[in-house]
Amino acid sequence: MNERKPLAELKAVDWDMIVVGGGITGAGVVREAVRRGCKVLLVEQADFAWGTSSRSSKMVHGGLRYIAAGDIRLTWHSLVERERLLREAPGLVTRLGYWFAHYEKTFPGPWVFGFLLSVYDLLARVRDHRYVARDKFLEQMPGYREQGLRGGSRYTDALVDDARLVLRVLDESMDEGACVRNYTRVEAPLLHAGEVIGARLRDLESGEAVDVSCRTLINATGAWADRLRSSIAASKRVRPLRGSHLVVASERLPVREATIFMHPDDGRAVFIYPWQGRTVIGTTDLDHHDDLDEEAHISRQEFDYLLRAANRQFPGAALVDGDVIATFSGVRPIVSSGRGLHPSQEKRDHSVFSEHGMITVTGGKLTTFRQIALDVLRAAAPRLGIVVRDRGEAVFAPAPQDRLGARFGRTAQRIHELPAPQEQALLPGLDYSLAEMRWSLRHEQVVHLDDLLLRRTRIGLLCRQGGEEFLPLIAPLCRDELGWSEERWQAEVKRYQQIWQRFYSLPA
Ligand SMILES: Cc1cc2nc3c(=O)[nH]c(=O)nc-3n(C[C@H](O)[C@H](O)[C@H](O)COP(=O)(O)OP(=O)(O)OC[C@H]3O[C@@H](n4cnc5c(N)ncnc54)[C@H](O)[C@@H]3O)c2cc1C
């Protein structure tokens, strides 16, 4: 990934497209636009993937519940993309077994569920499900609630590191000539005769601002989409819905594969799954009324709701607050039906709409980012003078098939070759090395310590107190690579600790 270009340099270019928002949607659009020969700039007001795209449930999935709701098209598209990502980004996207337990006198029973899974597999063109009787199920899911248990169905979906997915897509785009810049906000679109002709950008670090012109402006700001639209359209489209997760020490709730079950309070689906050596419990689904300028965070009610679900399903675990290492919450940018539906009934599909030269894209899923990007380009095509066909080109170039290849793609080999062999070792209890952090600091536009600990690596989600025990090892890297003084380092540590305490720790 390139360095942050000076703001003045951005002004000197007549961009075909400016993409606002550095989540997976914006990254996907840049990727598809640049390979069609467009001059593309992406700006992100905070860090890349700072929004929902680092706080998803991290599943690359078809979404069984969409089939059950009759949304075959969304499921089919998602499954096609799931299989593509598994092929193109092995290690970053990994297949995982999911278990659903069947109890006496509860719906759906094994036959109905098996039928659903046959359709699911058919759409994905795989055959990957089975039913096992009670004892075999308990061998796979020790400690599961036994009363009335008949057996379990297993199918497969996939998991990903969502923030690294965004970074890899951006990296591939930059390799083909895109320019991307974090901590740069679009303050407002620039208008001429009521049509968008550019954007006013502000560097949130230096305070500097420039006006930059473009042929089309893509509003990929997710939950923030209505804000950017407000200067050209009065209506509101987005209904922000929050979903939260708990990260638990895997010794306290060991699961080899994922399980999905219905919450006893409201019948919503809850997942418990292994991720990066920890166990994640999620998620919730409720209207998010908090200020969007603040990171979303879990409420006490959501925390208790998720803990209650896990304890009912794994009664022996008897989880308590102290077992939770960290929490994280994201805001779904759902396009509202306007009919006051229950949050879980709102459609999860994406919408693209074009207004006065600005194309807004919102809703959708991490999994379908490539399909979403193609829909955005189709809407932008008349202004750009391009024809958009899905030629099925790979999003990712081939990469080494190892841990670093999964995270960094093509450049992984260069991390192995960094001097200081002692930095190649994994940190205790983690799947990260100091060498890869050095690489991120040097090449991945790390501006703040939280960029490194929450998104380039996920240490802040995986360790108690945000991994503060590793800070003495990381300090020299930041001094070497970013030239931070002792004073700057102390300020960054303070900032990180405040962010972690407020948005990633346990609720008060
Ligand atoms: C709890 C939860 C669980 C989910 N789980 C899954 C899952 O398992 N699988 C799946 O496929 N999908 C999942 N999703 C959906 C998926 O995460 C989202 O659809 C996706 O991340 C949205 O990406 P985005 O790029 O549109 O938005 P975001 O990632 O939020 O990116 C928008 C970005 O725009 C930036 N921005 C806003 N205003 C400006 C401005 N004026 N100038 C510059 N930048 C700006 C923001 O800072 C933000 O980073 C989940 C969502 C949630 C909330």
On whether the CB atoms of residues 329 and 189 are closer than 8 A, the answer is no
The residues with which 351 forms a beta bridge, in sequence order, are 362
Is residue 338 over pLDDT 90?
no
**CB 114 within 8 Å of CB 153:** yes
CA of 476 to the centre of ligand 1 (A): 33
Per DSSP bridges, beta strands 238-249 and 278-282 are antiparallel
CA–centroid distance, 130 to ligand 1, in Å, is: 33
CA 368 to ligand 1 centroid distance, Å: 12
Fold held by 241-332: D-Amino Acid Oxidase; Chain A, domain 2 (3.30.9)
* Residue range 7-53+163-237+344-384, CATH number: 3.50.50.60
Nearest ligand 1 atom to the CA of 368 is 11
Secondary structure E strands in 285-369: 286-287, 324-335, 350-355, 358-363
Q: Tell me the pLDDT tens digit for each residue of 190-245.
A: 999 999 999 999 999 999 999 999 999 999 999 999 999 998 887 888 899 999 99
The phi-psi region of residue 466 (left if phi > 0; otherwise alpha if psi is between -120 and 50; otherwise beta) is: left
Per-residue pLDDT band at 275 (split at 50, 70, 90): very high
pLDDT band at 343 (very low <50, low <70, confident <90, very high): confident
Report the chain's mean pLDDT, rounded to a whole number.
95
Q: Which residues line ligand 1 (CB under 6 A)?
A: 20-26, 43-46, 50-53, 56-59, 61, 185-186, 220-224, 228, 243, 283, 330-333, 364-367
User: Of all protein residues, whose CA lies closest to atom 4 belonging to ligand 1?
Assistant: 56
Which residue matches tokens 């539906």?
341
Which of 346, 332, 371 has the alpha carbon at shortest distance from 62? 371
Alpha helices in 35-95 (DSSP H): 64-68, 72-88
Pocket test for ligand 1, best of 58, 160, 162, 224 (most atoms within 8 A of CB): 224
Q: How far is CA 168 from the centre of its chain?
A: 12
Determine the Cα–Cα distance for residues 35 and 31; give it in Å rounded to an integer: 7
- Summarize pLDDT for 291-305 with one digit per residue, the tens: 999 999 999 999 999
Q: Please spell the DSSP secondary structure of 395-454, one letter per residue.
A: SS----SSHHHHHHGGGHHHHHT-S-GGGGSBPTTSS-BHHHHHHHHHHS---SHHIIII
Distance CA 143, CA 32 (A): 46
How far apart, in whole angstroms, are the C-alpha atoms of residue 403 and residue 401?
7
* Domain spans in the chain, listed from the N-terminal domain onward: 7-53+163-237+344-384, 241-332, 418-503
Percentage of residues of the chain with pLDDT beyond 90: 89
- Among 20, 167, 221, which residue has the most ligand 1 atoms within 8 Å of its CB, making it the best to mutate? 221
